[in-house]
Amino acid sequence: MEALAIGSVPSRPGLPPPTRHSHLRRPKTLLASAPPCRIIAAVPMDGAASRSPAPLRCTPAETDAVATSSDETAATAEATQQGDGIPVEDAAASIEGVDGIKIRRRPVTGPSVHYVGPFQFRLENEGNTPRNILEKIVWNKDVEVWQMKERRPLYMLKGPLDNAPPARDFVAALKASYDRTALPALIAEVKKASPSRGVLRENFDPVVIAQTYEINGAACLSVLTDAKYFQGSFDNLEAIRNAGVQCPLLCKEFIIDAWQLYYARSKGADAVLLIAAVLPDRDIKYMLKICKILGMAALVEVHDEREMDRVLGIDGIQLIGINNRNLETFEVDISNTKNLLEGERGQLIAQKGIIVVGESGLFTPDHISFVQNAGVKAVLVGESLIKQEDPGKAIAGLFGKDISHASAV
């Protein structure tokens, strides 16, 4: 495999410049214990993209180099994710052990694409094949963010933010709605497609959908910005913000790098999603601080007891989202919300004054009462609204009553 060391590798910010073959460097112990690579494809580089179903390109982030959200985490992440000096099994274990996240944030054994002269080879092994959709999304996001950062370095984003209108108060909007309706406040989601459900709505005008959600009683809106898996965009977020919508906006993104927080704010976000399955505790803490500086709220999403306990150990969290959908398997079970709020966890949440948001799989007034009885004060709803002919009118159907400001509640 070392013979395939051809091509140059751009350096990643904050890391030493790569040596000539550093992108193909593998720890000896890893080489010794890793199963032999399978050669999946060998194609000439010219015209390869048009013949290959999934065009192969060697992008900077497909290298072994690691960029993390904080300098603080860089050292640990580099050590664990490159697996330097530890056998592959131990490398995998320590990655899983990084502050409790189960997914691998980057391919452990480096890129799967290699070049020999004009040929591209995809060499797949366990370490560079995503184990589930969440890993796939996050690995792709890593490449994407790195490219976006190259185009718009942080200093370019920071300047204009000084004169930008302040973020709207996402948490206050949820509380006001709950007080007004005595029902969970609605965060209505502007989502065209999802990896589990495919395209949810063909005729998709994000601004019109956002406006109809607002008129019909949504407290806040959630706007998908991931393009590859959800057909969302930051243009949608910006367009909704510029169209005069008053509701605070949640940027629904897979955040892995603090740069994305600044970018989201620059596009009009008032809140961001931080997914505990993807972020180690110290990244969550670090990002919460930046959100505070930017005036944005953070919805910290959990799916199981372990993630909930991790998050309850972090100070300063105002919003916890319980996702009823397992992002690794797509299974949806709304009793997850109830299970995670039972007993001491529910008591601690109440003591800390945290607002819990029930997320995913909510379709009927019974579902809404079920999660409300479990203790949620807000719900995040996408599919059941967006699939209806008039997504705004669908809100009254979901709650069993009109919750718009116009209605006498």
Ligand X SMILES: O=P(O)(O)OC[C@@H](O)[C@@H](O)c1c[nH]c2ccccc12
The residues of the shown chain that bind ligand X, judged by CB under 6 A, are 189, 191, 252, 301, 323, 359-362, 380-384
Q: How far is the CB of 383 from ligand X (least distance, A)?
A: 3
User: What string of DSSP letters covers 61-88?
Assistant: GGSS----SSHHHHHHHHHHHTTTTS-H
Cβ-based nearer residue to ligand X, 22 or 369: 369
Closest residue to ligand X, based on beta-carbon distance: 382
Residue 357 DSSP symbol: E
Tell me the one-letter amino acid at 69: S
Cβ-based nearer residue to ligand X, 214 or 359: 359
Cβ-based nearer residue to ligand X, 245 or 255: 255
Q: How far is the CB of 184 from ligand X (least distance, A)?
A: 13
Cβ-based nearer residue to ligand X, 80 or 222: 222
Q: How far is the CB of 139 from ligand X (least distance, A)?
A: 15
Q: How far is the CB of 101 from ligand X (least distance, A)?
A: 15
Q: How far is CA 259 from CA 34, 93, 223, 255, in A?
A: 34, 28, 18, 9
Cβ-based nearer residue to ligand X, 206 or 361: 361
Q: How far is the CB of 170 from ligand X (least distance, A)?
A: 16
Neighbouring residues of 109: CB distance < 8 A, sequence distance ≥ 6: 26, 30, 34, 83, 88, 125, 126, 127, 128
Q: How far is the CB of 157 from ligand X (least distance, A)?
A: 23
Q: How far apart are CA 131 and CA 135, in angstroms?
A: 6
Q: How far apart are CA 304 and CA 148, in angstroms?
A: 32
Cβ-based nearer residue to ligand X, 66 or 221: 221
Q: How far is the CB of 253 from ligand X (least distance, A)?
A: 8
Cβ-based nearer residue to ligand X, 135 or 383: 383
Contacts 24+ apart (CB under 8 A), 30-37: 30/83, 30/86, 30/87, 30/88, 30/91, 30/109, 30/127, 31/1, 32/87, 33/87, 33/88, 33/89, 34/88, 34/109, 34/125, 34/126, 34/127, 35/125, 35/126, 36/125, 37/1, 37/123, 37/124, 37/125
